[in-house]
Amino acid sequence: MTVDTVVFDVLGTLVDQEAGLRDAIRGLVPDVAAAVAGWQGYVAAEHRRVVAGEREYVPADVLDREAAGVVVGEGDLDALAGVTGRLHAWPDTAELLERLAARYEVLALSNADHTTLVRLCAHAGLRWHTALSTEAVRSYKPDPAVYRLAIERVGRPPERILMVAAHAWDLRGAQAAGMRTAFLDRPGADPPGPADRFDHHLAGADELVALLDQSLDQSPA
């Protein structure tokens, strides 16, 4: 495997979205776990509707506000405003990005809107060379246009781009676009199914670094 560019999903892969939502919702509703599941389920369903052309595109922060209204009610919306921009990174994320960014082009490719990505990068201490939001193509993953956006922006053949995500549905979209794929296991991840054939299945960040280090060592001088 020869890779020049590593593209990361963000929500759930680099930051702990579920924990951030739990912390924000705690004290507002009796059943926090159900509220988090309801929030994520609502947003995922609306993403699918946008991709299918059943709903006009709206930015991700609008969907977050709608989801908050569904799970906690209109009265607590202000307390949850901008919660995605305040999520915390997984403990190994900062070091992972730092090590890879010294040797590879590192990109974020996220369903989060542009403004939220700026906030999240600053809050969580994330380092990447650029962040791409699906807002640029007015759709959401796994719309093929999203992966084409990443491929066009880096200007490389898709087989030299590695997409890393904790969501099998995301990797299926990247794989269909010709990108290399690596499933990075995280708590609450959407694991590969029996029919999935991703290039790599990684238990943690160290395995990803070792994989890419090996790739560099084997590259022609």
Domain boundaries, the chain: 5-16+87-218, 18-85
pLDDT score for 77: 87
pTM above 0.75, yes or no: yes
Question: What contacts 177, CB < 8 A, 6 or more positions away?
Answer: 144, 147, 148, 151, 158
CATH tag, 5-16+87-218: 3.40.50.1000
pLDDT < 50 positions in the chain: 220-221
Q: pLDDT, tens digit, for every residue of 91-107?
A: 999 999 999 999 999 99
Is 18-85 in CATH node 3.10.50?
no
> How many beta carbons lie within 10 A of that of residue 109, not counting itself?
25
Q: pLDDT, tens digit, for every residue of 173-196?
A: 999 999 999 999 999 999 999 999
pLDDT score for 74: 82
Residue 83 to residue 166: CA distance in whole angstroms: 20
pLDDT score for 218: 54
Cα R_g (the chain), whole angstroms: 17
